[in-house]
Amino acid sequence: MTTPVTPAELYQHGLQLLLDKDVPAWVELWHEDGVLEFPFAPEGWPSRLEGKAAVGAYMRDYPDHIDLHEFPEVTIHRTMAPGTIVVEMRGVGRLVKTDSPFEMTYIAVVTVEDALITSYRDYWNPLAVSLPGADFAGTH
């Protein structure tokens, strides 16, 4: 793929990398000083990760916990803020540990500068972590 030029293209490329379980390539989409925030993170979970290295460490084992199969619904809204998009999406797959179905709806506010993610606010559903058999700690 050629280098994505719009925030929407970069985001879509990132989703494909997650489906391919290529977390190192996904992390390479981040600016060195990028910030990943989880405004609804439950107690004991990180609410803010600062820097590409922290994002990479957090996501490193994601495929060992969640086997994503598809993002059947992705809607990207462009905003008036330069480089910022709002994404509504649904991820579907399975939980590796229990082999049970996984489905999560997300809303993300993502800012891209110079073809790199500088800010990503992930509004996921913290109630999903209380599902029987759910083992998402650090890998929602």
pLDDT of 138? 42
Map out the domains of the chain as residue ranges: 7-126
What's the pLDDT at 3?
59
Cα-based angle 67, 19, 113 (whole degrees, multiple of 5): 130
Residue 30 confidence (pLDDT) above 50: yes
Query: Among the listed ranges 3-7, 28-32, 127-131, which one has the minimum average pLDDT value?
Result: 127-131
Q: Are 124 and 106 in contact (CB under 8 A)?
A: yes
Burial class from Cβ neighbours inside 10 Å (0-12, 13-18, 19+) for residue 74 reads middle
β-partners of residue 119 are: 35, 111
Exposure on the CB side of residue 115, measured as CA atoms within 13 A: 6
Can you give the length of the chain in residues?
Answer: 140
Question: pLDDT tens digits for 42-84?
Answer: 888 899 999 999 999 999 998 998 899 999 999 999 999 999 9
Sign of CA dihedral 40, 75, 133, 50: negative
Q: Which fold has domain 7-126?
A: Nuclear Transport Factor 2; Chain: A, (3.10.450)
Q: Which two tokens stand for residue 97?
A: 């540990």
